[in-house]
Structure 1
Amino acid sequence: MPKLNLHRPDHTSSLSSDLDSSLRNEALQPHFEPPTTKLTKSPYLTEKNVQRRWATLDNDDAQQHLLDEHTQQHMLTYAKNIEHFIGTVKMPVGMAGPLRVNGLFAKQDFLVPLATTEAALVASYNRGSQLLTAAGGASAMLLNEGVTRTPAFAFFDLSQAGQFVAWVVTQYATFKSIAEQTTSHGKLTDISVSIEGNHVYLVFEFLTGDASGQNMVTIATNAVLEYILQHTPVEPEHAFLDGNLSGDKKANAQTLRSVRGKKVTAEAHIPAALIEKYLHTTPEKMMQFAQITTVGGALSGTIGINAHYANALAALYIACGQDAACVAESAVGMTRLEVDKNGDLYASVTLPNLMVGTVGGGTGLPSQKACLDLMGLHGNGKSQALAEVAAALCLAGELSIVGAFCAGHFSRAHHKLARK
């Protein structure tokens, strides 16, 4: 394939310059003088520790913004969520909706809070939500649940690995009992084994109730790991709590056919007249866009096919106290846009990796709880509904952004809203 070679800065060219070599070498040398500033030794959140940190930082203007009066009044509520606390960051929060969700668990019209600094984002999700609602809403179905942790063991040879596996498969009931003693909500539902040469990976899958469950499964699996290391008939050369097979906080392909977190699919049949009214384009044009961008995604090596799940999930996760780093895995999924037999648009999304919870983590912090409360989705028994809302929100965003590209409005919307 021919390539157009455009001039671009190449900082490595300076490596060939003798003139710069002494300066470069000096800049890259380790420096061992003591640091000029230090944090408190204690990472814990106490009023005295916060005062000491700001005394070290010595920046009144920054302190005024990060440690305002409201933050000072509520700062002890953050004690289980942060170390070396100095204050809070204020994020603008907008509302998108109404978004009608016809789900197994979410069964109403939602106004969805989204925290972002990206202009045009909330407007786009708002438009997509209104389109779906006008079409009768998004049908959403929670398909599966499960959170994994994957301890890994290295042995001298395959024979030892085989001996270890032969013992492990007799211990499942014991592992389950040990794991579930560490949590009142988590349930160990499955254990599978993967062997690669003299390496053995154990895949522990848990149900985590209404919590996202990352910490829960880590603590439970670590208890099992300690038991294994004490009782295994074949001592591994080394072992680790997670061997990176879980896909934790990384985009990965394995969950496209399985689950990590909550797997949800959402769909809608949208009349062509509504596509014209809200998006100013046609179902045929949107299907053509989906086809050409699916090929483009394959050419780029994209895992899954979607336009921008990450936008919806990052904004929702930040607003609602979810672990924002999980967007790396949660934003993997499949979008389909097709013209149905009536000439209308069929649109669907499937997200196998939604890491969401309505208890624990950051969900109980003041602002984040308020955002969940606005949707009626804080507390026990609400996490499945939140997952269905998240999928419907992603569907709204896919429709809106594809419509903008098809109508030639994408750049114009950003120019209008971001540069006003």
Structure 2
Amino acid sequence: MAGKRSLTNAHLKSLLDHQDLESLERQLTPKTSPPAKHYLPHSTVSQRRVQRFWKGMGKAPHPDLLDDWTSANAESFDGNIENCIGSVKIPLGVAGPLRVNGLYAQGDYPLPLATSEAALVASYHRGACMISAAGGCTAMLLYQAVNRSPAFAFDSIISAGRFVVWAMESFEQFQEVANGTTNHGKLVDVGTTVEGNHVYLNFEFTTGDASGQNMVTIATQAVCDFIESNCPVTIKQLYVEGNLSGDKKASAQAYTSVRGRKVSAEVLIPAHILKKYVHTTPKQMTDYWKMSAIGGVLSGTMGVHGHFANGLAALYLATGQDAACVAESAIGVTRFELTDDGDLYASVSLPSVMVGTVGGGTGLPSQKASLELMGLYGSGHSGALAEVCAGLLLGGELSIIAALATGDFTRAHRKLAR
């Protein structure tokens, strides 16, 4: 990682204004005395254990972290957190409703968004209302797959090649072992990457209505155990994840294929609706989009879009998704076109939306309530949730690009932000 001379010097000056290098070195030296006293870990959550943990920290429970409701309902968090001491409250707003005409999502959906960023809900709200006024967006879930990539080390590339031959011949057995660990997931494919004497197997699963990271990890571990016991080639090292899956990070692999749910949405916005809702024209929108698209390319972003992470993070927090998966989910492409009739065509494509309507945090009380508000809690609704995500982000792109194209962006934040 590189730093410019001016920034480096400014930082050094701020450090050395009040202390010398020797004192800084002492500050950075490891200190083992007195030894740190670790908290005693707890995986089970109950009212009694929460109180005990506060006592173990030597602190009184803070009423803003351990309020009466959280204390009384502590058991509802069991299985979702360790060392529980309470809950954090994030403001929840609602945008929309958003009309979606999808393969799975049909109707008008309220959009619960948990955020502390002023202007975010307002922006997504006007985008959703504009889409709904145009008759709604068309959305299509295209693919679903969640992958896990175990890695194997051998003594030579020859052994690695022999392993790949055996692994391809054994895939049906891998499927049987993996599918025996879950009633919902299915091992459907495997890719191979050979790098010298290392091999990565990229297992792809369908995961039903769950987001599925834990599901595919458990299934892959079972396959790795089978491989370790039955492989005719000596394996020097084996890891259940070799960091090729793209889990919780933006990757070119996910961008060009799929991780989670691949979904696309489009809408045709007549010029008069743009004028009414965002005070702009289709030409202003497409002119700004063209310039911002090149800016994204020049900066090296994964895909071209305005702010996918904003809407996804807020919806993920509200509905109990794995918030860290925003890292891989918030990649994709926004595209605007001026039609022959002078209207605006807009679309978004997202290859890696990691969402579920069962499992994980979706069963937590507040998050379950948010999904129920949308009518999307439980089995049979994950495809609809993915399509709603695409519609939400489409609305967000329309709104932010309109704000930037007209100069309203700064004014909105000055008006709404603290």
AA of the residue aligned to 2:252: A
* Matched position secondary structure for 1:384: helix
Q: Give the Cα separation in 2 of the matches to 1:127 and 1:162.
A: 56
- Residue aligning to 1:300: 299
- Residue aligning to 1:54: 54
Q: Give the Cα separation in 1 of the matches to 2:278 and 2:404.
A: 10
Q: Give the Cα separation in 1 of the matches to 2:373 and 2:180.
A: 35
Greater mean alpha carbon deviation, residues 288-297 or residues 313-322: 288-297
Deviations 1:109-161 (A, max 9, x none): 01110000000000000000000001110000000000000001122221111
Are 2:195 and 1:196 equivalent residues in the alignment? yes
CA contact (8 A) 1:40 1:52 kept: no
- Residue aligning to 2:255: 256
* Matched position secondary structure for 2:118: coil
Q: Give the Cα separation in 2 of the matches to 1:16 and 1:312.
A: 42
CA contact (8 A) 1:186 1:208 kept: yes
CA contact (8 A) 2:118 2:417 kept: yes
Q: How does 1:318-357 map to 2 (within 5 A)?
A: 318-357=317-356
Are 2:16 and 1:21 equivalent residues in the alignment? no
CA contact (8 A) 1:337 1:348 kept: yes
CA contact (8 A) 2:47 2:72 kept: no
* Matched position secondary structure for 2:304: coil
Q: Give the Cα separation in 2 of the matches to 1:386 and 1:132.
A: 17
Q: Give the Cα separation in 2 of the matches to 1:88 and 1:16.
A: 40
- Residue aligning to 2:77: 78
Q: Give the Cα separation in 2 of the matches to 1:343 and 1:166.
A: 57
- Residue aligning to 1:40: 40
Shift of residue 15, structure 1, vs aligned partner: 9.1
Q: How does 1:208-357 map to 2 (within 5 A)?
A: 208-357=207-356
- Residue aligning to 1:100: 99
Shift of residue 380, structure 1, vs aligned partner: 0.4
Shift of residue 12, structure 1, vs aligned partner: 4.1
Provide the alpha-carbon RMSD of the alignment.
1.8
- Residue aligning to 2:115: 116
Q: How does 1:46-195 map to 2 (within 5 A)?
A: 46-60=46-60, 63-195=62-194
Percent of aligned pairs sharing the same letter: 54
- Residue aligning to 1:418: 417
TM-score, normalisation: structure 2:
0.95
Deviations 1:213-247 (A, max 9, x none): 00000000000011111111112221211111111
* Cα pair distance change 1:5/1:48, threshold 3 Å: closer
Which consecutive unaligned segments of at least 5 residues does structure 2 have? Answer: none
CA contact (8 A) 1:37 1:56 kept: no
Q: Give the Cα separation in 2 of the matches to 1:86 and 1:41.
A: 12
Q: Give the Cα separation in 1 of the matches to 2:190 and 2:96.
A: 41
- Residue aligning to 2:30: 30
* Cα pair distance change 1:35/1:368, threshold 3 Å: farther
* Matched position secondary structure for 1:371: helix
CA contact (8 A) 1:101 1:109 kept: yes
Q: Give the Cα separation in 1 of the matches to 2:202 and 2:275.
A: 48
* Matched position secondary structure for 1:98: strand
AA of the residue aligned to 1:229: E
Shift of residue 10, structure 1, vs aligned partner: 3.2
CA contact (8 A) 1:40 1:49 kept: no
* Matched position secondary structure for 1:277: helix
Q: Give the Cα separation in 2 of the matches to 1:133 and 1:41.
A: 49
* Matched position secondary structure for 1:97: strand
Q: Give the Cα separation in 1 of the matches to 2:95 and 2:241.
A: 38
Greater mean alpha carbon deviation, residues 231-240 or residues 28-37: 28-37
* Cα pair distance change 1:7/1:79, threshold 3 Å: closer
Q: Give the Cα separation in 2 of the matches to 1:138 and 1:232.
A: 50
* Matched position secondary structure for 2:62: helix
CA contact (8 A) 2:140 2:387 kept: yes
Deviations 1:261-289 (A, max 9, x none): 00000000111111111111111111111
Q: Give the Cα separation in 1 of the matches to 2:28 and 2:196.
A: 40
Shift of residue 38, structure 1, vs aligned partner: 3.4
Deviations 1:161-212 (A, max 9, x none): 1111111111011100000111010011111211122211101000100000
Q: Give the Cα separation in 1 of the matches to 2:275 and 2:9.
A: 45
Q: Give the Cα separation in 2 of the matches to 1:126 and 1:55.
A: 44
* Matched position secondary structure for 2:64: helix
CA contact (8 A) 1:66 1:87 kept: yes
* Cα pair distance change 1:16/1:389, threshold 3 Å: closer
* Matched position secondary structure for 2:63: helix
AA of the residue aligned to 2:258: V
* Matched position secondary structure for 2:370: helix
Greater mean alpha carbon deviation, residues 304-313 or residues 153-162: 153-162
CA contact (8 A) 2:152 2:238 kept: yes
TM-score, normalisation: structure 1:
0.95
